Amino acid sequence: MDSERLVELLEKVRNEKISIPRAVAQLRHLPYEDLGFAKIDHHRAIRQGFPEVVLGQGKSPEDIAAIVRAMRRHKNNILITRLNPEKVARIKKGVRGLEYHPTARAATWIGKPIKSIGKGVILVVCAGTSDIPIAEEAVLTAMMMGNRVERLFDVGVAGLHRLLENRPRLDEATVLIVVAGMEGALPSVVGGMIDKPVIAVPTSIGYGASFNGLSALLGMLNSCAAGVTVVNIDNGFGAGFAASLINRV
Amino acid sequence: MDSERLVELLEKVRNEKISIPRAVAQLRHLPYEDLGFAKIDHHRAIRQGFPEVVLGQGKSPEDIAAIVRAMRRHKNNILITRLNPEKVARIKKGVRGLEYHPTARAATWIGKPIKSIGKGVILVVCAGTSDIPIAEEAVLTAMMMGNRVERLFDVGVAGLHRLLENRPRLDEATVLIVVAGMEGALPSVVGGMIDKPVIAVPTSIGYGASFNGLSALLGMLNSCAAGVTVVNIDNGFGAGFAASLINRV
Amino acid sequence: MDSERLVELLEKVRNEKISIPRAVAQLRHLPYEDLGFAKIDHHRAIRQGFPEVVLGQGKSPEDIAAIVRAMRRHKNNILITRLNPEKVARIKKGVRGLEYHPTARAATWIGKPIKSIGKGVILVVCAGTSDIPIAEEAVLTAMMMGNRVERLFDVGVAGLHRLLENRPRLDEATVLIVVAGMEGALPSVVGGMIDKPVIAVPTSIGYGASFNGLSALLGMLNSCAAGVTVVNIDNGFGAGFAASLINRV
Amino acid sequence: MDSERLVELLEKVRNEKISIPRAVAQLRHLPYEDLGFAKIDHHRAIRQGFPEVVLGQGKSPEDIAAIVRAMRRHKNNILITRLNPEKVARIKKGVRGLEYHPTARAATWIGKPIKSIGKGVILVVCAGTSDIPIAEEAVLTAMMMGNRVERLFDVGVAGLHRLLENRPRLDEATVLIVVAGMEGALPSVVGGMIDKPVIAVPTSIGYGASFNGLSALLGMLNSCAAGVTVVNIDNGFGAGFAASLINRV
Amino acid sequence: MDSERLVELLEKVRNEKISIPRAVAQLRHLPYEDLGFAKIDHHRAIRQGFPEVVLGQGKSPEDIAAIVRAMRRHKNNILITRLNPEKVARIKKGVRGLEYHPTARAATWIGKPIKSIGKGVILVVCAGTSDIPIAEEAVLTAMMMGNRVERLFDVGVAGLHRLLENRPRLDEATVLIVVAGMEGALPSVVGGMIDKPVIAVPTSIGYGASFNGLSALLGMLNSCAAGVTVVNIDNGFGAGFAASLINRV
Amino acid sequence: MDSERLVELLEKVRNEKISIPRAVAQLRHLPYEDLGFAKIDHHRAIRQGFPEVVLGQGKSPEDIAAIVRAMRRHKNNILITRLNPEKVARIKKGVRGLEYHPTARAATWIGKPIKSIGKGVILVVCAGTSDIPIAEEAVLTAMMMGNRVERLFDVGVAGLHRLLENRPRLDEATVLIVVAGMEGALPSVVGGMIDKPVIAVPTSIGYGASFNGLSALLGMLNSCAAGVTVVNIDNGFGAGFAASLINRV
Amino acid sequence: MDSERLVELLEKVRNEKISIPRAVAQLRHLPYEDLGFAKIDHHRAIRQGFPEVVLGQGKSPEDIAAIVRAMRRHKNNILITRLNPEKVARIKKGVRGLEYHPTARAATWIGKPIKSIGKGVILVVCAGTSDIPIAEEAVLTAMMMGNRVERLFDVGVAGLHRLLENRPRLDEATVLIVVAGMEGALPSVVGGMIDKPVIAVPTSIGYGASFNGLSALLGMLNSCAAGVTVVNIDNGFGAGFAASLINRV
Amino acid sequence: MDSERLVELLEKVRNEKISIPRAVAQLRHLPYEDLGFAKIDHHRAIRQGFPEVVLGQGKSPEDIAAIVRAMRRHKNNILITRLNPEKVARIKKGVRGLEYHPTARAATWIGKPIKSIGKGVILVVCAGTSDIPIAEEAVLTAMMMGNRVERLFDVGVAGLHRLLENRPRLDEATVLIVVAGMEGALPSVVGGMIDKPVIAVPTSIGYGASFNGLSALLGMLNSCAAGVTVVNIDNGFGAGFAASLINRV
């Protein structure tokens, strides 16, 4: 329709129903959506096969259900993150076909088959069993974005043999997501073993001077292994999203 | 020589000078370097066309010169980061052919032509002119690792038109490094405009409540744009290195 | 009545019922309210058409009801901020005519028509839907103080087109309140687009390294756009109040 | 010239030298500067009588001189902030007519008379004599932006009478800038005495637990007086700029 | 020489120039290096008319009841601080004669009349109504330690007239306790008005950047008024105790 | 089975079914688990008489029960730390013979007699009664690891005589664990009295500026007594474990 | 002269040269100084025998000399704190009779004999030799304010016997100032030994996690000994001043 | 009962059943509440073969020389830590026989042969070459206290093979000191490989978010490897001292 308005204007120009200076002025004052700036288009992501994403935290079940129902019309796949089990039952009443992933604390609604877009394998590594929920959020995000994803869990640095035994799996991955709480040392060790992009995810696992993930975050930012980049504490979704972008490069 | 010991042992096995159980035991107790674990090989990086990297900060000119002279024997390219101009003259006395890059505060020694390995273009974006030294460290690192690198400088968010005018350049890049101090908002804006991996580099530029880059760092970690990952404050090298890994994926 | 005491004293002076040195002494020792220091008068605000304001947080419903009943006698309008829904029912029992605004988590009691005092329009902008409660507190405060207020919500920097499309609304405002959590980048972008006073409100929306709004607060304090000033985290009331003062200048 | 390109294109449309669909396509792909988005024009500020501003900190004298020489061509007034005395002599060699203001640590170059734009008086208040440099930066900024500015210095809260004696001056101001270090209590007291916008500037004056201005900053953000907004530590320029915007409302 | 004194004393014992009880007494009063610890007697406080103090926080009602029952045997007065109303009922079952002070969140048991020991008046000042519980803890503590205590509540710095009106009460006090949250500015203002010791108590009242009292604490530590000392956040008991010691000097 | 592969390979070497260079190559590429690196064996600890340890925090009762049942097969002793009383009943249903230690908030399952391995006595000292749960976690851990453990509780520095009276017990210990909250001064005092290793455990006991143990932690790290080392806040287990290692030296 | 104006006005009233309403109006609008608010008089302190105090830090030698010369006219004693030795020579040129105290980094000018006002003895205790400059600043301040002051230095908690040997001196003091860096434990120990007011002064002595005195500050604020109050880091002057106020109670 | 023992003893004295010297001796050895302080003897350490230790930081060369000359009289060995090279020359003038260790930034004076007291080997491990000065301070301290010390330097976690190759050296040590800056991950990895006490030393090496060693400190405190204890940032001396105490257990 944006095009329609433009075509209409240009036809007026051709038919000399409008002077050129006035046409220039109108073009300047058309609102952005009328000029149809596809480049700043918020539907951009969806056309590329990304799911629509809803941050469940801080929204009521009713609001989430309403958002999902509106989104469903476009038949796009939908990912709802940071969703407590308590809310799910109430959302499900209003939204059929919603699947809840309890470990990842996320829900999905599949409107069309997920296109396989990623080139290689994204390997999600985590240090301890308590880090698994965040790791699973990353796994689910990357899967919804069309990637093959593998898991390597519970390989923290205090038991190095567990990591060393799985070296081939590290080598075969294209991108790695490394999830760890406490001192957050695992990304440094993994980053020192391979030549692949490593996305580090600090978790809020720990107590006392872990300060809800601050210790792990600082550790990862100061990693002595080059090639490690970091996302926010507990941000499994962000890591999965960034890894997906890298896996399409 | 590691091989020699292994060969010697296996010859004893073949000649039955040693029983198989004893050979097994000896194999188990050989130190790591004797088994020659290529997988944990620190020469790995160099074989892939990476330069050797020396962190200049905290080392005396004499030490740096000695390290570089030792490295030069392998004919690898060398990158020395965080190098004050004062030290350079003294290092140059001991090392011929060293080139200093004053804006990036880094020096390079080229032993063999840099192989072009990166697939696409790495675009280094920075917010203000004061962020340029860190941006240039990223540029130089990525170049030394065989990438085509482009610059888009001084496009901070308070003058949005500068960024919008350069949209095509953002679109053409494969990986983006976005460098900003103060509130560190630029990566969020850039990350919202494109679907490429964005590596955010907070700088210590600012004063007062910028707390030497902490403000920019926190801003980037909390970016509302998915796909943004972050490195340490002023870590242009780390960003250039990570972008290079991504550009080879 | 203060005046009465003063008049009484001066009449005694005139009638020579009191010596001048004693009158001087008495004047010196009269309590402040007796000298009637209108300049330090706490009723000052109300006379100018401001509502009386009660901070609901940390007060029992009974206390709030008692305060409101006392205030009502002056027929002034009343604004109660930071009021949980649970408390409202109990307050309403004791106070007729109280209206609750659930999104703004505030209640109002209107004793007389709100005088329209503000000159221009106060535009309240917010970055995400989660920031709306704080934005609505600012809206309600500014309305209660006699301003025309408009809303521009959900225009965060990761989707810049939403903001650009609404540029004319930014241009038409006299004062802007910009509410954002996470990295708090929106005020910098808005402040760079217009030449109007911008009051930035950081919110506690976010998780991990947002540190309950600290990240947004620091981002706003370090804004690269001149003309931005900042209030406390989640302080929609303070922003609405300051914007009202500016809109009367 | 942007207009020229547009006119040229539209003339082709009228002359039917280009089909309408192709014209639509070309319009879509013109870079931003070609569409001439006056609204995002960075010369906006200058046309309104603002000076051009250069942040002196972190720039070499040579760079500053070059920037100023380039700016001078437009005959705009120029303000250089955060400029050490050491640099000034070297800048002056390359730039005639530069005036240095040592207390404000700033320099100005006047290309045309400053237009008086501000409506009322901006009063700059400061707590102690050590806060004066920051206060003077605010004074100079506001003056360069066409405001009448008055000073009320050394009226900290530990000697309340100094402030109370000057109450009329507070009442006569249109906007107030209140500068204080240490505990930063002055804006709360001033804000409680008047009904005008108060911009609080924390300074890094103090020692020990003042943590370079953090204590004053937090104090101001938590001010119990409504109507107080805050800028970054030591940001006299930002306060002067924001006060100027308010004084034009 | 200690030995000499010991030898001398023992010779006197042997020669019966001193009775054994007296020798025991002398041994007890010899300086520490020579002898026993009466001076580090934990009953010291009680002999001086102090109450016994129990910190209620973190103890079960049963434990508190047991402690109080044990203490009661000595007929000393008892003060239990930081006691939730929920616990009181359960403690009262086991301890007769316990009185609960809900505002101060403390309980007292009076075993003997409180001796009036304090010389002057301790004035407890607080900024806002939300600070009253902490102020009342200070009041109760000082009363239990034998002081005359007066209250001056709700006189925060944003409404300075309230404080100025009560100047005579400030002047008449011997020691002042000043309780404030948010920016914690009140002790500076009070300290600037009088020449008496001021004990500042920061409270956790506030939100956002008050950081649970940190802002008020820093403000008080950086007070520009000499003579102000500070206790821990919400430590009304500590302030009441210290003021009592001062009031006995 | 690792051995089997090795034996198989060596037999091929002996039978000349494989050339020596090829055998060398194969040895180099065997994955870690195939070479059976006993040195990085995670069963190491158990063989030395350590219990198996489960961190109860953040795990569901069902998960804990499952883990314990799996562990029980090896007949090793088991220690479950940070276990709320609520969870215990549900775990006990699935695991017979589990003993809960409510003060230490830990549970144990004894599969075989604890071997007495420690050489001397580990003395656990704590400052206040509120620190006892953390102290008891240390006690239980050290006991489960085969040490004689003694307790010296409630000897905080504000009542120094309690500590001095117990000097002989300090002297008799081989290793000391000193647990304290608030200002965390006890380890400095104890460390100054003896020449034994002191492990300091900060606790989260306190309020206000104790910042959940940060104050105690910093105090202990800055101890003026040499020989004091520190573990994480509330980490009684870590202190007990480290003390056990020292007691075996 | 204030009185003169008042007398003049009242005489006009008596002589009926001015109407009573006008007199009331004039009284209301007289500036504060005209009403002569002796209570808010900044000369208050000096009349009580306090010295005039100049904070030397952040002032140029010339400014300090000018201030001192102006003050000298009143013949009051003068104390200049935080004065580097470099500045002293330059100040002395302009000010005769100035005495520098290098350890306390302060200077004094004695215009009249110091009146002995304090009742008892102020004992200044410090933990280590590095804390002595701050302790001496407290000593000098208290002496200038007319107190008998004694010193007890280098009695840190890691060598407890040094403190215990000096118990009688602690007992004889009326007020104690306790200065310590590192973990700041000394005030707790001293506060537990006596029943006198203790003013704790944290110093910036230490390194690493002492964070320039933050560790000592937090330790003192969390002191388990009741009766301890705290001043800012390195604020020997503030402690000496507060102790002087207490010693006059 | 103390009294009883005292009476009993004195009666024996009177009855001459015990000689006076013996009575004196008994009085000295009575527990503290009864008697003198031999146990809190500050010469304790020296008698056990410890060196006397002087913290060089913050002391003038003249003071250090004076202290050392005084100490030398006892013929004890002396260790001066944190000593800049600039000071050494000036100290050496006043003190013969002083040896400076530039890497460890420490000096020693040997008055008598160091007794070999330590049982096993203390292994000092460090992550990067920049950590060596702190590591050498630990080495020198441990040597001065009579231990055999070995070094394993430059084995950071990003190049794990360097550590794995040296596994036997880790196994042979009795106590380990692990020194690391940046993310401080090395102690976790080392602690996971061995069953010996590990003392972790964070260093201030790093930049940006390393916050002068805070990042490494937090990482070490949150180590997932049990048995790791931590000392202050850059506190090589403290680690060496604690390791020496452990090595004597």
Summary mean pLDDT of chain D: 85
Q: Would you call E233 and F160 a contact, using CB atoms and an 8 Å cutoff?
A: no
Q: Would you call B222 and C215 a contact, using CB atoms and an 8 Å cutoff?
A: yes
User: Is residue C27 very low, low, confident or very high in pLDDT (cuts 50, 70, 90)?
Assistant: low
Chains G and B touch (3+ CB pairs under 8 A): no
Question: CATH code for C121-248?
Answer: 3.40.50.1970
Q: Which helix (H) or strand (E) holds H187?
A: helix H186-193
The answer to whether the CB of A236 falls within 8 A of the CB of A213 is: no
pLDDT of residue E31: 35
From chain B residues 210-239, the ones with a CB under 8 A of any chain D CB are 210
Per-residue pLDDT tens over the stretch E157-197: 988 878 887 888 998 999 999 999 998 999 999 999 888 99
- Half-sphere exposure (Cβ direction) of G247: Cα atoms closer than 13 Å: 28
Q: Is the pLDDT of residue B44 over 80?
A: no
Determine the distance in angstroms separating the CA of E142 from the nearest CA of chain H, rounded to an integer.
Answer: 33
Q: Where are the beta strands (DSSP E) in H181-246?
A: 198-202, 228-230
Which of D123, D161, D229 is the mutation pick for testing C, counting most C CBs within 10 A? D229
Q: Would you call A20 and D14 a contact, using CB atoms and an 8 Å cutoff?
A: yes
Instruction: Supply angle C-alpha F62, F68, F72, rounded to 5.
Output: 145
- DSSP readout, chain B? -HHHHHHHHHHHHHTTSS-HHHHHHHHHHS-HHHHT-GGG-TTHHHHTTPPEEEE-TT--HHHHHHHHHHHHTTT--EEEES--HHHHHHHHHH-TT-EEETTTTEEEE-SSPPP---SSEEEEEESSGGGHHHHHHHHHHHHHTT-EEEEE-S--GGGHHHHHTTHHHHHH-SEEEEEE-TT--HHHHHHHH-SS-EEEEE-----GGGGGGHHHHHHHHT-SSTTEEE--TT-HHHHHHHHHHHHT-
Packing angle, helices E236-247 and E132-144, rounded to 10? 40
The answer to whether the CB of G125 falls within 8 A of the CB of G179 is: yes
Q: Would you call A119 and B221 a contact, using CB atoms and an 8 Å cutoff?
A: no
Which of B2, B32, B218 is the mutation pick for testing H, counting most H CBs within 10 A? B32
Summary mean pLDDT of chain A: 85
Between these two residues, B29 and G60, which has the higher pLDDT value? G60
User: Is residue E55 very low, low, confident or very high in pLDDT (cuts 50, 70, 90)?
Assistant: confident
F6 and G CB contact within 8 Å: no
> What is the distance between the alpha carbons of residues D125 and B105, in angstroms, rounded to a whole number?
43
Name residue, tokens 């069902």: F62
Nearest-by-CA chain G residue for C13? G14
Structure tokens at C167: 């540029």
The answer to whether the CB of F147 falls within 8 A of the CB of F247 is: yes
Q: Would you call B31 and H208 a contact, using CB atoms and an 8 Å cutoff?
A: no
Across the interface, of H31, H53, H242, the residue whose CB is closest to F229 is H242
Q: Would you call F213 and A208 a contact, using CB atoms and an 8 Å cutoff?
A: yes
Q: Would you call D16 and A20 a contact, using CB atoms and an 8 Å cutoff?
A: no
Coil, helix or strand at residue C49: coil
Name every chain C residue with its beta carbon within 8 A of the beta carbon of B192.
Answer: 157-160
Summary mean pLDDT of chain F: 85
Domain boundaries, chain E: 3-109, 121-248
Q: Which helix (H) or strand (E) holds A142?
A: helix A132-144
Q: Would you call C218 and B222 a contact, using CB atoms and an 8 Å cutoff?
A: no
What value does the mean pLDDT take over residues D8-36?
67
Amino acid at C40: I
Q: Would you call E129 and C232 a contact, using CB atoms and an 8 Å cutoff?
A: no
For chain A, list the contacting chains (3+ Cβ pairs, <8 Å). Answer: B, C, D, F, H
Name every chain H residue with its beta carbon within 8 A of the beta carbon of G129.
Answer: 59, 63
Q: Would you call E35 and H33 a contact, using CB atoms and an 8 Å cutoff?
A: no
User: Is residue F43 very low, low, confident or very high in pLDDT (cuts 50, 70, 90)?
Assistant: very low
Structure tokens at H35: 């008697």
Between these two residues, B235 and C128, which has the higher pLDDT value? B235
| Chain centre distance of CA B20 | 47
Structure tokens at G39: 């209570």
The answer to whether the CB of D35 falls within 8 A of the CB of D3 is: no
B131 and H CB contact within 8 Å: no
Name every chain H residue with its beta carbon within 8 A of the beta carbon of F189.
Answer: none
Determine the distance in angstroms separating the CA of H217 from the nearest CA of chain E, rounded to an integer.
Answer: 23
Q: Would you call D197 and C245 a contact, using CB atoms and an 8 Å cutoff?
A: yes
Handedness of CA C94, C98, C101, C104 (dihedral sign): negative
Q: Which residues, at least 6 apart from B164, have a Cβ–Cβ distance to it below 8 Å? A: D32, D37, D40
Euclidean distance between the first and the last CA atom of chain C, given in angstroms as a whole number: 33
What value does the mean pLDDT take over residues B29-51?
43
Per-residue pLDDT tens over the stretch F55-95: 888 888 888 888 888 778 777 899 999 999 989 988 988 88
pLDDT of residue C3: 53
Name every chain B residue with its beta carbon within 8 A of the beta carbon of D55.
Answer: 130
Nearest-by-CA chain C residue for B188? C158
Q: Would you call C130 and A58 a contact, using CB atoms and an 8 Å cutoff?
A: yes
Q: Where are the beta strands (DSSP E) in chain E?
A: 52-55, 78-81, 99-101, 106-109, 121-126, 148-152, 175-180, 198-202, 228-230
From chain B residues 27-56, the ones with a CB under 8 A of any chain F CB are 27-28, 35-38
Chains H and C touch (3+ CB pairs under 8 A): no
Coil, helix or strand at residue D133: helix
Determine the distance in angstroms separating the CA of A41 from the nearest CA of chain C, rounded to an integer.
Answer: 7
User: Is residue C49 very low, low, confident or very high in pLDDT (cuts 50, 70, 90)?
Assistant: low
Name every chain F residue with its beta carbon within 8 A of the beta carbon of G211.
Answer: 218
Per-residue pLDDT tens over the stretch D62-110: 888 888 887 787 778 999 999 999 899 889 888 888 999 999 999 999 9
Summary mean pLDDT of chain B: 85
Coil, helix or strand at residue A201: strand
Per-residue pLDDT tens over the stretch E112-138: 889 888 889 999 999 988 899 999 999
User: Is residue C48 very low, low, confident or very high in pLDDT (cuts 50, 70, 90)?
Assistant: low
pLDDT of residue F26: 67
Q: Is the pLDDT of residue A215 over 70?
A: yes
C103 and A CB contact within 8 Å: no
pTM of the model: 0.85
Which of A218, A223, A228, A232 is the mutation pick for testing H, counting most H CBs within 10 A? A218
Determine the distance in angstroms separating the CA of C157 from the nearest CA of chain E, rounded to an integer.
Answer: 23
Per-residue pLDDT tens over the stretch B104-154: 999 999 988 898 888 899 999 999 888 999 999 999 999 999 999 999 998
Between these two residues, F69 and A29, which has the higher pLDDT value? F69
Nearest-by-CA chain A residue for B174? A249
Q: Is the pLDDT of residue C42 over 70?
A: no
Q: Is the pLDDT of residue F229 over 70?
A: yes
Beta carbons within 10 angstroms of residue G159's beta carbon: 19
pLDDT of residue D5: 64
Q: Would you call C197 and D231 a contact, using CB atoms and an 8 Å cutoff?
A: no
Most confident of A48-57, D31-40, E123-132, G155-164: E123-132
Tell me the helices (H) and strands (E) count for chain C, helix number first. Answer: 12, 9
User: Is residue D25 very low, low, confident or very high in pLDDT (cuts 50, 70, 90)?
Assistant: low
* Poorest-pLDDT segment among A86-95, C184-193, F102-111: A86-95
Per-residue pLDDT tens over the stretch G18-32: 888 777 666 654 433
